[in-house]
């Protein structure tokens, strides 16, 4: 009799990713026509360097861990600033991210108890990129990268308000979430 060990809640996402990789490999080896409709590396690269939405690319990223990893690599290469992940020893509820030339931090709003202010500070002493950052990209530990538009900077500071239940805040609470500015 064959026994199959069912993964716990923590191991389930990894098992799903592994199954998806094996399924993609089988499709390619069998010559399955649906496998040839995959998103090309060039299209992923173009998507990483464009603010425009692409539903086909987004659908592929949602299901394909290899595509997510490649996309994250393109985003990292295209980033004008890389604040990275939070310092592990931080005692703050929402730890700041500090990189060369910039810091991303979150402060509670003084006006509304369920609102927070995300503050992106660009160091004026560092050489500025040709184009100021217009997008905050947050990548979780499963290589899901989420893009959020940024308002214009004022004297090297970008600020915007998020609510308690926003996707940005949920991602920033996890110290393992990587922040990129492009």
Domains and CATH numbers, the chain: 12-78 (no CATH), 81-181 (2.40.30)
Strands 178-181 and 157-163: unpaired
pLDDT at 61: 94
| pTM for the full predicted model | 0.78
CB burial class (10 A; 0-12, 13-18, 19+) of residue 16? middle
Q: What is the pLDDT of residue 36?
A: 44
For residues 156-171, average pLDDT:
95
* Coil vs helix vs strand at 105: strand
pLDDT score at 46? 94
pLDDT tens track for 64-117: 988 999 999 999 999 999 998 987 666 678 999 999 899 999 999 999 999 999
List C-alpha distances in Å: 93 to 30, 46, 89, 111, 160: 49, 35, 12, 19, 19
Task: State the average pLDDT over residues 140-156.
Answer: 94
């Amino acid at each position: 009799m064959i026994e199959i060990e069912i993964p716990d809640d923590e191991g389930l996402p990894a098992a799903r990713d592994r199954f998806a990789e094996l399924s993609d490999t089988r499709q390619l080896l069998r010559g399955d026509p649906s496998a040839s409709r995959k998103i090309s590396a060039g299209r992923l690269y173009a998507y990483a360097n464009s603010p425009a939405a692409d539903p086909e690319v987004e659908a592929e990223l949602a299901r394909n861990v290899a595509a997510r990893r490649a996309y994250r690599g393109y985003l990292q290469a295209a980033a004008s600033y890389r604040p990275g992940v939070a310092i592990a020893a931080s005692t703050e509820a929402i730890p700041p991210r500090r990189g060369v030339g910039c810091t991303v931090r979150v402060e509670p709003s003084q006006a509304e108890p369920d609102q927070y202010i995300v503050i992106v500070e660009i160091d004026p002493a560092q050489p500025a990129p040709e184009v100021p950052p217009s997008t905050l990209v947050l990548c979780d530990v499963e290589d899901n990268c989420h893009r959020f538009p940024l308002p214009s900077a004022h004297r090297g500071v970008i600020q915007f308000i998020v609510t308690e239940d926003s996707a940005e805040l949920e991602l920033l609470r996890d110290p393992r979430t990587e922040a990129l500015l492009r």
